[in-house]
Amino acid sequence: MIGYVCVGTNNLAKAEGFYSQLLGIMGAKETYRGERGIGWGLPDKPMLSVVMPFDGKPATVGNGGMVSLGAANADQVKALHAKCLSLGGTCEGPPGDRGGGFYAAYFRDLDGNKLGAYCMVK
């Protein structure tokens, strides 16, 4: 049902480098490019875009808002978390079992947008 998700940025060039490398771990490719934003996607999956706000005001992060990336396995969750930190992002919760087979990690991008990565493990 979700077609795409957008997070805001104040520096599109930096966000492009960050997300190209981060989402590349999952095999995502650029699927959209406009003057205010860039999107990445996988076949038959929702697109994730970074955009400069349409109203011209600074991008800000929402309290309680988060985009979570569906990873293939726990190793990919760990790789996404590590890549984010290596690109200058910050940790919001290291990779680990959150109960009931839900394995996740949480981090913030260069603009402070909160992201997660998760998978179900047995």
The model's pTM: 0.91
Cα-based distances in Å from 48 to 35, 113, 122: 16, 13, 28
Query: Is the predicted pLDDT of residue 23 greater than 90, yes or no?
Result: yes
Read off the CATH number of the domain in which 45 is found: 3.10.180.10
Residue 107, domain member (yes or no): yes
Residue 105, domain member (yes or no): yes
The count of domains in the chain is 1
Mean pLDDT of the 76-88 span = 98
Count the Cβ atoms, other than its own, within 10 Å of residue 63: 6
Count the Cβ atoms, other than its own, within 10 Å of residue 121: 12
Domain span at residue 22?
Answer: 4-54+65-120
The confidence score (pLDDT) of residue 63 equals 80
Query: Is the predicted pLDDT of residue 64 greater than 90, yes or no?
Result: no
